[in-house]
Structure 1
Amino acid sequence: MGKNHDNDDGADENSKESKTTSKKPSTGVIVLGVYLHCQGCVETVVKSLRGFDGVEEIEPNTKDHRVIVKGNKADPIRVAERVRNKSGKHVELISPVPKKQREKKLVEKKPETPKVVETVLKINMHCEGCAKDVKRCILKMQGVQTVNVDMKKSHVIVKGSFDPKNLVAYISKKGGRHAEMVNVKNKQSKNDGEQREGDQHEKKEKEKEKEKEKDGKNAYPNVPPELVYAPQLFSDENPNACSIM
């Protein structure tokens, strides 16, 4: 009877271990993005992964066009390549994200704000009609903000965020006119310089105010702070002041 009892205990322990191992969820989950438009696509993908190294479960989802592959030892990159080679479909590895894609996201920088420039061009204009045509043509270029025409000097002043060389080529191509670059100014750097000058001016004014305060405090350097200054000797507010009868 004792032996049978021992055997029963061993059987119970084995059954418990088998249950616990079967209930353990697989930690390796791979999500692939694959376009699945019919049952044939689903069968092709499933066949390509059936029996592959580390693959335990395959769950295709036709609504989201995704395939969930479970397996603790499955390599995500190899699984994606397997489906790609066997099915001939475009396969995107959604999860886990490859290290290269993570590094690219970290390296990506924010786009720099375009610098505003002021370009002076020399264009031969015979009349007001020519000036209007030139202005209308330049305003169509991307990045151009304002266009001012000086008929006397045959100058066109253009402001905006663009490449001045491209502006000359644009006028030649779209307007059919010859344009020469006279001057280019970086408005952003100019504004920065003006701001610096303003800051320096404010600092100088503050220093002057501090010097004036120091001079006011040192008006009576030999008089102790507890004594009354001379202008206050005859003040009505001072109880110790002299009074003239």
Structure 2
Amino acid sequence: MGALDSLSEYISDYFRVAKKRRKRNVMQTVNVKVKMDCDGCERRVKNAVSSMRGVKSVEVNRKIHKVTVSGYVEPKKVLKRIERTGKKAEIWPYVPYNMVAYPYAVGAYDKKAPTGFVRKSEQSQPLPGAPDDKIMSMFSDDNPNACTVM
């Protein structure tokens, strides 16, 4: 019986390795910029994305041209599905205005951005140890003893 047991273990191990293990997607939120002009465009995009496997919710904000998809999806697949409707789509390129250190930098300011948003860019991030940060920390409202001028 020892030979049959070892043979059955060998065969069962072979079949376990041969099966492809599916990589599970992580629950995430994907924000996409899509130019939508009418109710028909909005409905087409919403129906196309909501029919994907793993999608839990779809929110469309036509005013700022933003589609928010939550679920077990990949961003590239969401973009491809939206582009199949005939609409141009890109990952949401904007961040809130107050999250950027230099909102009027060349790469950050965008006239087409919705109100309260600026374009996400590397130039809008402050350099560590920048002189602006040192000057601003001298006059802190949080710490009244920080003012070195008075």
Q: TM-score, normalised by structure 2?
A: 0.50
If you compute each CA radius of gyration, which structure gives the higher value, 1 or 2? 1
Higher relative helix content: 1
Q: TM-score, normalised by structure 1?
A: 0.32
